[in-house]
Amino acid sequence: MSSKKIIIANWKQNGSLKSLRSLTSQIIKALKLKSISHSVVILPPYVYLPILAEQVLSNKKIRNLSIGVQNVSAFSDGAYTGEVSFEMCKDFGSKYFLVGHSERRQILSESDVLISNKVSRLLNHNKKVILCVGETLAERNKKLDKSVISKQLISALGSLSSKSKIKTNNIIIAYEPIWAIGSGKSASSEDIYNTHSYIKKKLNMILKPCKILPKVIYGGSVNNTNSKEILSIDGVDGTLVGGASLNAKKFIEICSSI
Ligand code: PEP
């Protein structure tokens, strides 16, 4: 696997057009000036996608910045009020699709079945999926973390119809322990290493035959002070960053920390 890492900014339901345009232009400027060789992806709220995509895509010299969305419909066109399909997002340059974030699973009651339908639709259409998995604190305390993650992976990837036709390099798994998200307390390096190793082993089994193993990235209170250590852990192929990605200086430092 390439050593190139991927740093993904999840802006959630934050910011205004003005603030996110400014944040985007500061990221673009940093990518022009600094030697950041890793891939950087921003995930703005849907409504700002067209404008921010134009800002990103009009900078032809920057090859390592892409744009994506934080959620996507499981359905093709039709009577699905409020939903947005990958085809619509693609029209505005969206390359990455985040699926199954714990906030969507927990607050918006997204089921494993819905998540699996989203993942299958995207992969069957050769799109890039960032699939979030991770355990709650209660599950961790009961030592159920690995079985929860295994269930999430099997449910989302286990029943892909034509596995041999799926490009596994279109899959990114974001390991996000729910207790670490927005808490200011990231998982320990040892826990991250162990869980990423477990996920990779599991992916090898689920995705057989699998020539290219999906990237596995870590998310949960990554910031500019812990990113270097986290990104140096064996088996960590990148990070998914929430809170700290809304601050240009912190996010650029995270992107430059390796
Ligand atoms: C997230 O919600 O995807 C996330 C990683 O958030 P934070 O970095 O704020 O913990």
Look up the CATH number of the domain holding residue 47: 3.20.20.70
- Distance, CA of 155 to chain centre: 18
Looking at residue 111, what is its pLDDT? 97
101 is catalytic: yes
| Cα–ligand 1 centroid distance for 96 (angstroms) | 17
Note the pLDDT tens digit of each residue in 173-211: 999 999 999 999 999 999 999 999 999 999 999 998 788
Q: Catalytic residue among 103, 110, 135, 176, which?
A: 176
DSSP classification of residue 61: T
Contacts of 64 (CB under 8 A, 6+ apart): 31, 36, 37, 38, 39, 40
How much is the mean pLDDT over the chain? 95
| pLDDT band at residue 1 using 50, 70 and 90 as cut-offs | very low
- Indicate whether residue 110 lines ligand 1 (CB < 6 A): no
125 is catalytic: no
Of residues 198, 205, 253, 258, the one with CA closest to residue 3: 258
Q: Are strands 171-175 and 39-43 parallel, antiparallel or unpaired?
A: unpaired
Cβ-contact 181, 242 below 8 angstroms: yes
Residue corresponding to tokens 């895509």: 57
97 forms beta bridges with 69, 129
Q: Which of 107, 227, 241 to mutate to test the pocket of ligand 1 (most atoms within 8 A of CB)?
A: 241
Determine, yes or no, domain membership for 210: yes
What is the residue range of 68's domain?
6-255
Q: Residue 257 pLDDT more than 90? A: no
Cβ-contact 6, 29 below 8 angstroms: no
- Distance, CA of 205 to chain centre: 22
Taking residues 35-45, what's their average pLDDT?
93
The three-state (H, E, C) secondary structure of 139-163, written as one string: HHHCCCHHHHHHHHHHHHHCCCCCH
Note the pLDDT tens digit of each residue in 117-139: 999 999 999 999 999 999 999 99
Determine, yes or no, domain membership for 218: yes
Cα separation values, 99 from 57, 181, 186, 252, Å: 23, 16, 21, 24
Q: Whose CA is nearest to atom 4 of ligand 1?
A: 242
* Lookup: tokens for 35: 């030697």
- Indicate whether residue 238 lines ligand 1 (CB < 6 A): no
- Count the domains in the chain: 1
Q: Residue 114 pLDDT more than 60? A: yes
* Lookup: tokens for 192: 């991250």
Instruction: Give the DSSP H/E element, type plus range, for residue 35.
Output: none
Q: Whose CA is nearest to atom 7 of ligand 1?
A: 242
Looking at residue 162, what is its pLDDT? 64
Looking at residue 165, what is its pLDDT? 80
* Lookup: tokens for 52: 């921010």
Cα separation values, 57 from 44, 70, 93, 118, 171, Å: 14, 18, 8, 26, 23
- Indicate whether residue 219 lines ligand 1 (CB < 6 A): yes
Hey, is 89 helix, strand or coil?
Answer: helix
Looking at residue 153, what is its pLDDT? 97
| For the CA of 245, the nearest atom of ligand 1 | 8
| For the CA of 240, the nearest atom of ligand 1 | 5
| pLDDT band at residue 163 using 50, 70 and 90 as cut-offs | low
Q: Residue 95 pLDDT more than 90? A: yes
Determine, yes or no, domain membership for 130: yes
Q: Which of 43, 217, 240, 253 to mutate to test the pocket of ligand 1 (most atoms within 8 A of CB)?
A: 240
Determine, yes or no, domain membership for 1: no
Cβ-contact 84, 53 below 8 angstroms: no
Note the pLDDT tens digit of each residue in 237-254: 999 999 999 999 999 999
Q: Residue 16 pLDDT more than 50? A: yes
Note the pLDDT tens digit of each residue in 42-61: 999 999 999 999 999 998 88
* Lookup: tokens for 176: 């996000």
Q: Cα separation of 95 and 97, whole Å? A: 7
130 forms beta bridges with 98, 172
* Lookup: tokens for 202: 């599991």
| Cα–ligand 1 centroid distance for 67 (angstroms) | 17
Cβ-contact 9, 33 below 8 angstroms: no
219 forms beta bridges with 240
